[in-house]
Amino acid sequence: MANLGEAQKQMTRRLLPESGLELFRTKGYATTVDDIATAAGTTRVTFYAYCPSRSDLMRALIGEQLKGTLERVRSPEHGSTARDPVATVAEGTHEAVMSWLRRTAELWPAVRPVVRIGRDASVVGPDLPDLVGRWIEEAVAGIEDGLTAAGRLEPHQRRFRGVLAMAQPDYVAQHRDGSDWKFGRDQMLEELGASRVRLLN
Evaluate whether residue 57 is within a structural domain.
Answer: no
Q: How many residues does the chain have?
A: 201
Quick one: pLDDT at residue 114?
80
Using the predicted structure, report yes or no on whether residue 83 has a pLDDT greater than 60: no
**In the predicted model, what is the mean pLDDT of residues 27-49?**
91
Q: For residues 101 and 47, state if they share a domain.
A: no
Report pLDDT for 21: 86
Model pLDDT, residue 77 = 53
In a domain, 35, yes or no: yes
Provide the 10 A C-beta neighbour count for residue 100: 19
Helix locations, the chain, DSSP H? 2-27, 33-39, 44-50, 54-67, 83-91, 94-124, 131-150, 155-175, 185-199
**Average pLDDT, stretch 183-192?**
91
Structure confidence at residue 72 (pLDDT) = 46
* Residues 38, 71 within the same domain: no
| Angle (CA) 163 21 43, round 5° | 145
Residues 113 and 146 in one domain: yes
Look at the alpha carbons of 138, 73, 86, 99 in this order and tell me if their dihedral is positive or negative: negative
pLDDT on residue 33: 94
Rounded to whole angstroms, the Cα distance separating 146 from 159 reads 11
Q: Is residue 181 part of a domain?
A: yes
pTM assigned to the model? 0.75
SS3 41: coil
Q: What is the model's pLDDT at position 177?
A: 80
Residues with Cβ within 8 Å of residue 61, at least 6 apart in sequence: 17, 20, 21, 24, 114, 117
- Structural domain harbouring 19: 2-51
- Tens of pLDDT, residues 55-67: 888 888 877 766 6
Same domain, yes or no: 30 and 85: no
Does 171 lie in the same domain as 76? yes
Is there a domain that residue 58 lies in?
no
Average pLDDT over residues 172-192: 88
| CATH label of the domain that carries residue 30 | 1.10.10
Q: To the nearest whole number, what is the mean pLDDT of the chain?
A: 83
pLDDT computed for residue 69 by the predictor: 52
Indicate the pLDDT class of residue 46, thresholds 50, 70 and 90: very high
DSSP bridge pairs for 81: 73
Asked if residue 56 is part of any domain, the answer here is no
75 and 47 in a common domain: no
Q: Convert the pLDDT of each residue in 118-157 to its tens digit.
A: 888 887 776 676 777 888 888 899 899 999 999 999 999 9
The domain total for the chain is 2
In this predicted structure, the answer to whether residue 79 has a pLDDT above a threshold of 60 is no
State whether 73 and 98 are in the same domain.
yes
Q: Are 117 and 81 found together in one domain?
A: yes
Instruction: For residue 30, give the DSSP letter.
Output: G
- Considering the domain architecture, whether residues 38 and 69 belong to the same structural domain is answered as no
Q: Which of 55, 16, 58, 60 is nearest to 39 (CA)?
A: 16
Strand partners, 74: 80
User: Do 14 and 92 belong together in one domain?
Assistant: no
Q: Are residues 188 and 90 in the same domain?
A: yes
Residues 124 and 169 occupy one common structural domain: yes
Residues 84-122 have pLDDT tens digits of 778 889 999 999 999 888 888 888 887 888 888 888 888
pLDDT confidence of residue 78:
45
